[in-house]
Structure 1
Amino acid sequence: MSATTDVSPDTDISSEVVLPAPVGPRGAAGHRAGFWIVAATFLVAMAFTTVPTPLWAIYQREDGFSTAMVTVAFAAYAVGVVVSLFLAGHLSDHFGRRRILIPALLIELASAAMFLTSTSLGVLIVARAVSGLAIGMITATATAYLTDLHTAARRTSTHTDDPRATIRSGSTRARAVHPGADLVATAANMGGFGVGSLASGLLAEYAPSPLRTPYLVFLVLLVLSVIAMTLVPETVRPTTLRPPYRPQRVSVPDEHRPAYFAAASAAFTTFAVLGLFTSVAPGFVSGTLHHPSRALAGFATFLVFAAAATTQTALRRLTLRSQLATGLVLLPTGLITLTTAVWLTSLPLFLAGGLLSGAGAGTLFKATVTRVLTLATPTRRGEALAGLFLTAYIGLTVPILALGLATHYVSSPTALLGFAATLIAICATVSRRLLR
C-alpha cells in the first residue's frame, strides 16, 4: 500500500526536472495522452496490490493458513514498499520517469506470475514482497510523472516562449498551480486499491478458478500497461554527470520534534486502519459475520478506499486544522462502529464502520503530510516526509501482525477490540498537539 499525497515522500523537493521542447507529434497532444496513459497504468498497478485481499479467506480454507500467516504475507508487502521507497523511489529524478516505471511494472509482472503459479505460503510471501518492491518505485515515479506531463501539456498548449520549461519536481508550488494532477493521482492511487479488491472479489465469485483468474486478468492488464508506457514521452533528461547514489535520507525537524512525532503517530494509525481492510477484514466478513461472498469481501474493501479518496478530494479546501479535526473524529468513530459491528455480527454496521474509517484515514493522512511540510524547511522536506512514511508503514505492519497473533489466543472480536482501542488511544494522545 502506498498513499498519494501532495508531495512524494521520496522525491527530492528541491530537484529540478527539465521538460524537453516538444518534437513533432509529441507536443501538447503527446503529453496529454501520456498523462492519461500514466494515470491508467498507475491505477492498474495499485489495483493489483489488493487483488489478494478478497482471496485470503479462500487460501485459509483450502490451504489451511491461519489469520497470523495471512498477516505475515500482508506485512511482506509493506516491507518491500519501504525498502523500495528508500533505495529506489527517488531514482527517476536522475534516470528518467519512464526508465524507472517500466522496470517497476516488469517487477510487478513477476509478482503476478508467482501468484498465478503457486498457492504455497512461502511463494505468496515472496510474491507480496516483490509486489511491494515494485509499488515503492511506482508510487513516487508515477506521481511525479503525472505532474510533469500535466505541466508540460499546459505550458505547450499556452504557447510558452520558453522551449525548455522547468518545473520543480514534487514542489508544493507546482502542484498548487496544477491541482488536476493531484486529483488524478489520488484517484488512481487510493481508487486503485478499491478497484483491485472489488474486481478480484467479483472475478473470484463469478468466474472459474478464483485463485487464478483474478491474477491472470491483471497480468494481462500489466502487460498492456508496459506496452502503453513505451508511447509516453519522457520528462526527465538524464545528465552525464549524476550525483553519487545514496538512499533516501530521513530527518526530523529539530525545532518541531513534538509536533512532527504527533503527525507521524497519526499517520501510523491511518495506515494501520487501511492495512486492516486489506488483510484480515475480509476474514471477519466471511467468518465472524457469516457472509462468505467473495464479491462482498471485495466490496467492503472498495468502500474503505473509495471513502478515503473521496474525502481527500472533497475536503481539500478546508483549513489544515479543520482537516486534522475531521480525521481525528471520523477515524475513532469508524473504529468504534466497526468493532461494535463485529461484536453484534451486523454487516450493515460493519460497512458503515468501513466508510467512516476510510474517510477518517484518508483525511487524516493527507493532513499529516501537509503538517509535516509546514514543519520542515524547504531543503529538508523530502527527508522529513520519508520519516513520516517510514512511521506510516510501521503502522501498516506491526499492528496488523499483532492482531493476527492475538487471534491465536483470544476471539477475533476481542482481538479487534484491542486493536481499535490502541489506535483510538493514539489519536486521543496526539490530538491536542496536532490541533494547536
Structure 2
Amino acid sequence: MPLRLSPPASGAAATGPGATGPGATGRTTTGHAATAPTTTNHAATGPGATGHAATAPTTTGHAATAPAPPSRRHGAAFWAIAATFLIAMAYSTVPSPLFPLYVAREGFSTFTITVVFAAFAVGVVISLLLAGHISDWVGRKAVLIPALGLELLSALLFLSSTALPVLITARVINGLGVGLIAATATAYLHDLHAHHRPGASPRRFEIVSTAANIGGLGFGALVAGVLAQYVDAPLSTPYVVLAVLLVISIAAVALSPETVTRHQVPYRPQRISGDHGTGYLAAGAGAFSAFAVFGVFTSVSPGFVAGELHHPSRTLAGLVVFIVFGGAALAQSVTGGLSLQALRTSGLTAQAIGVLLVVAGMYATSFPVFITGGAIAGIGAGVQFKASIGAVARMAAPANRGEALAGLFFIAYLGLSVPSLSIGLATRYLDPTTVMTWFAGILLMLLAGLAALAAPRRS
C-alpha cells in the first residue's frame, strides 16, 4: 500500500541522488511573471542527478518573483550554487578513503564500517521524505543554508571523536543535510539558469548539476585521500578543509538572489507510491542495481584495496571512488542523445562487464584490472540510473510524478545500503574476494532479470 505522504500538487519533479530529491521542483520558479505555462523536457541524470522530466505545463503564478531581465547577478549565483552543491556532495564522501584508518585506530570490523556508511543513507531517506520538497514554498535559501549548517555540524562531530556512536551520528546528520541540499540545490540551479538565460536550452543546467552532484561525490573522496596521504592528522585535516569550504558556501548562498517568494502552504511530507506497473518495477530494479554499485565502492572498496590488493595508499583509495563516480557523471553528460532503451542496454552491459573485471582484479590481485572494472561499472551505473529516472518521469502522470520519483529514490537508497551492509556482515565469516564473487553473481542475476523485464514487447 503506498505511503500517503504528499507535497501540495507537485506537477513536475526535479530529482537527483545522492541523489537529488524527489519533488525538488514541484513548483520551480523561473523568475518570470507566471502568466503562461512553462514546460521543461529534460531527463534526470545522476544519483542524484538532475531529473527534470516535466512534460506537462507547470504554472507558478503564486511563487514567481517579479519579472526581471537577464542579470549578471543570477549568472554569478548560478556558478556559486553549483560550487556549493559540489562542496556539499564532496563532503559526504570524505570518510570513504579514511575508513581503513578508523579500523586501525578503533579496531572496527568491515561490518561496523558499513553500518557507519549506511547511516548516511538513512539520513538521506528521512530528509527526502520529510523536507526535500519544502523549498518550493519556503524558499531555496531558507532550506539550503540550514542544510549546509547540518553538514558543518557533521564535520565538527567527526573532528570531535572517533568513537562509533559519534561516527554514526555524524553520518546520519550528513545524510539529513544531503537530502535537503540535493533536492534544493538542483531546483535552485534550474531557477537561476532560467533567470540568467530565459528561453535557453536547459543543457547547461543539466551538465552542471550532474557534474556538481555525482562529480562532487568522487571529488570529495579523492581530496580526502590525498590529504590523508600527505598531511598530518589524516583523520582531522580533510574535515577541517571541507568545513572551511562549507562556511564559505554558506556565505555564498546568503549573497545569492532568492528565486522563490515565500508563501503559506499546509505542510505534508512527500508521498511515496510505486503503483505504476511493470515499467516502474524495471526502473526500480535499475536504480537499486546502480546504487548497489555506488554503495559497494564507497563503503567497502577502500578496505579491499588496502587489504586484498595490498595498496594501503589513501590516495589510491580515494582515486577508486573518484573514478567510479567520475565515470558515472561523465557518462550521464555525454549520453543525452540516446534513447531510453539504448541507455538501459548500455548501462546493463557496462555494469555486468565492470563487476566481472572487479572480481577478476581481486582474484589476480591486480589493481589496474580492479580499477578498470570500477570505472566501467561506474559508467554503467550512471547510465542505468539515468535510464530509470527518465522512464519514471515519462510513465508517471504529471500530478503523480513527484511521488513516483520519491518511490524510485527510496528503492535506490535501499540499494545503497542493503548490499553494503550484507557484504560487511558476510566478511565476518568469508574472505572479501569470496564475498565480492557472491555479490557479483547476485548482481548479474538482477541485471539479467532487469534485461528481460525491460525488453521491448513485440506484438
TM-score scaled to structure 2, two decimals? 0.87
Which of these residues, 336, 344, 360, is aligned with residue 324 of structure 1? Answer: 344
In the alignment, structure 1 residue 20 sits paired with structure 2 residue 40? no
Q: How far does the alpha carbon of each residue in 1:236-278 deviate from its partner, in whole angstroms, 9 at most, with x for none?
A: 0012xx2211110012344xx1111111011001001001111
| 1:154 alignment partner in structure 2 | 197
Q: How far does residue 196 in structure 1 lie from its aligned partner after superposition?
A: 0.2
Work out whether 1:141 is the aligned partner of 2:184: yes
Q: Is the 8 A contact 1:3 1:189 kept in 2?
A: yes
Contact 1:10/1:383, CA 8 A, preserved across alignment = no
Which residue matches 1:336? 356
Mean Cα deviation higher: 204-213 or 374-383: 374-383
Distance 2:23 2:305 in 1: 33
Structure with the larger helix share: 1
Q: Does 1:2 align with 2:14?
A: no
Q: Conserved in 1, the CA contact under 8 Å of 2:135 and 2:142?
A: yes
What is the aligned counterpart of 1:48 among 78, 84, 91? Answer: 91
Kindly indicate whether the alpha-carbon contact (under 8 Å) linking 2:72 and 2:196 is maintained by their aligned counterparts in 1: yes
AA partner of residue 65 (structure 2) = L
Runs of 4 or more, structure 1, over 2 Å off, are: 1-5, 7-17, 19-23
Match among 108, 112, 125 for residue 69 of structure 1: 112
Within the candidate set 251, 257, 262, 2:282 is matched to 262
Deviation at 1:22, TM superposition (A): 3.9
Aligned to 2:292, which of 272, 289, 305?
Answer: 272
Q: Which runs of 5+ in 1 are unaligned?
A: 159-175
- Whether the 8 Å CA contact 2:24–2:184 is kept in 1: the answer is no
Q: Which residue of 2 aligns with 1:251?
A: 273
In structure 1, what is the equivalent of residue 50 of structure 2? none
User: How many aligned residue pairs are there?
Assistant: 409
* SS of residue matched to 2:162: coil
Match of 2:64, SS?
A: strand
Partners of 2:353 and 2:175 in 1: CA distance: 30
Give the CA deviation at 1:4: 5.2
Counterpart in the other structure of 2:215? 191
- The one of 24, 35, 48 equivalent to 2:78 is 35
Please give the secondary structure, in 1, of the residue aligned with 2:197: helix
Are 1:211 and 2:235 counterparts? yes
Contact 1:15 1:93 in 2 (8 A): no
Cα drift, residue 8 of structure 1: 4.5
Alignment of 1:163-312 (within 5 A): 177-239=201-263, 242-254=264-276, 257-312=277-332
Q: Distance in 1 between matches of 2:17 and 2:391?
A: 18
CA separation of 1:390 and 1:336: change in aligned 2, threshold 3 A:
same
Shift of 1:182: 1.0
Query: CA deviation digits over 1:261-312, x for unaligned, max 9?
Result: 1110110010010011110000000000000000010011100011000000
Partner residue, 1:161: none
One-letter code of the match for 1:427? L
CA distance in 2, matches of 1:375, 1:430: 17
Shift of 1:319: 1.0
Please give the per-residue CA displacement for 1:309-347, whole angstroms capped at 9, x wherever unaligned.
000011111111111100010001111110111111110
Q: Which residue of 2 aligns with 1:170?
A: none
1:346 to 350, 355, 366: 366
Give the equivalent residue in structure 1 for 2:126.
Answer: 83
What is the identity, as a one-letter code, of the residue corresponding to 1:53?
Answer: S
Cα deviation per residue 1:34-57 (whole Å; 9 max; x = unaligned)? 100000000000000000010000
Q: Distance in 2 between matches of 1:435 and 1:20?
A: 48
* Residues in 2 aligned to 1:265 and 1:395: alpha-carbon distance in whole angstroms: 9
Secondary structure in 2 matching 1:230: helix
On the 8 A contact 2:24/2:187 being kept in 1, the answer is: no
In structure 2, the gaps of 5 or more residues are 1-15, 27-53
Provide the rounded CA distance (Å) in 2 between the counterparts of 1:263 and 1:366: 10
**Please, what TM-score do these two structures have when normalized by structure 1?**
0.91
Aligned pair partner of 1:358 in 370, 378, 383 = 378
Q: Give the Cα–Cα distance (whole angstroms) in 1 for the partners of residues 25 and 155 of structure 2.
A: 27
Residue type of the alignment partner of 1:200:
A
Q: Cα offset for 1:9?
A: 4.9
**1:369 aligned counterpart, secondary structure:** helix
Equivalent residues of 2:102, 2:162 under 8 A apart: yes
CA contact (8 A) 1:271 1:361 kept: yes
1:208-227 superposed Cα distances (whole Å, 9 cap, x missing partner): 00000000000000001001
1:129 and 2:172 correspond: yes
In structure 1, what is the equivalent of residue 409 of structure 2?
389
Moved more, 268-277 or 242-251: 242-251
Q: In the alignment, what sits opposite 2:387?
A: 367
Counterpart check, 1:57 vs 2:100: yes
Alpha-carbon distance in 1 for matches of 2:339, 2:406: 24
How far apart, in 1, do the equivalents of 2:152 and 2:348 lie?
A: 38
| Equivalent in the alignment of 2:444 | 424
Q: Which amino acid aligns with 1:250?
A: I
What SS does the corresponding residue of 1:262 show, helix, strand or coil? Answer: helix
Give the superposed CA RMSD: 1.6
How far apart in 1 are the matches of 2:170 and 2:442?
Answer: 30
Deviation at 1:435, TM superposition (A): 3.1
